[in-house]
Amino acid sequence: MRAVEVVAFDGDDTLWHHEHLYQDTQAALRELLVRHVEGPVLDAHLLDVERRNLSLFGYGVKGFVLSMIETALELTNGEVTGGEIGQIIERGKSMLRHPVELIDGVADTVQQLVDDYRLVLVTKGDLFDQEGKIARSGLAELFEHVEILSEKDVAAYRRVFSALDVPISKVMMVGNSVRSDVLPALDAGAQAVHVPYRVTWDLEHAEPLDHHRVVRLERIAELPGYLDSLIP
């Protein structure tokens, strides 16, 4: 008997670096539009545009590119040039082509857990984009199941975890986002581990945690030891 039978991992900023690509691209957009608008104004406007587009585009690079173009059009009163829009599109393409870089300790940790636990991957975003990242991560064959969700809410977790043929209380969700990985997984009845990433997208910010079924680890390499310490 184990306290945890299934370990479910988030992908972006939990297994591989992700948010820094967005932040680097946003920095390039600030540079591109510097003669039209100040950086903080652009950042705030882009966030508003992303927020209002989320229900239409969902998460992912392609929606981000469209939101950057829309932001550029609005903040320049339509004066952004075709060449500048072309540069925004190119930036988006290079984000999509970027190699998948695993976070320190991930490869060893996942390899260490695969003998003792059933491992699943529960990620969010554009299907095509996420499938490519999982394939390029080199980790795909270690997961018995991969789920790509358009939104990580309680209903989605309940559906995914219920299909695992194990009591949901024996599932542990591991992720960097309190809002997307921890809180809805707890509400679905699972246990959770929060492993913060060094940067968090503004739309993923949430209040600090206080719950008996969650723990915060600074590094994913601490996960096997934590799992071993749990009493069934």
Give the interface with Mg ion as residue ranges (CB under 5 A). 10, 12-14, 176-177
- In angstroms, what is the minimal distance from the CB of 22 to Mg ion? 12
Name the amino acid, one letter, at 192.
Answer: A
Name the amino acid, one letter, at 25.
Answer: T
Nearer to Mg ion, 67 or 176 (CB): 176
Strand partners, 12: 16
- In angstroms, what is the minimal distance from the CB of 177 to Mg ion? 5
Distance (Å, whole) CA 91 – CA 29: 9
- In angstroms, what is the minimal distance from the CB of 11 to Mg ion? 7
Nearer to Mg ion, 22 or 57 (CB): 22
Distance (Å, whole) CA 166 – CA 177: 24
- In 3D space, the residue among 78, 110, 79 whose CA is nearest the CA of residue 7 turns out to be 110
Nearer to Mg ion, 13 or 171 (CB): 13
Q: Contact 7/227 with Cβ under 8 angstroms?
A: yes
- In angstroms, what is the minimal distance from the CB of 17 to Mg ion? 10
- In angstroms, what is the minimal distance from the CB of 204 to Mg ion? 8
**Would you give the distance in Å from CA 162 to the centre of its chain?**
22
Residues whose CB falls within 8 Å of the CB of residue 136, separated by 6 or more in sequence, listed in order: 99, 100
Nearer to Mg ion, 68 or 174 (CB): 174
Distance (Å, whole) CA 94 – CA 86: 12
Nearer to Mg ion, 2 or 20 (CB): 20
- In angstroms, what is the minimal distance from the CB of 7 to Mg ion? 15
Nearer to Mg ion, 196 or 224 (CB): 196
Q: Contact 60/126 with Cβ under 8 angstroms?
A: yes
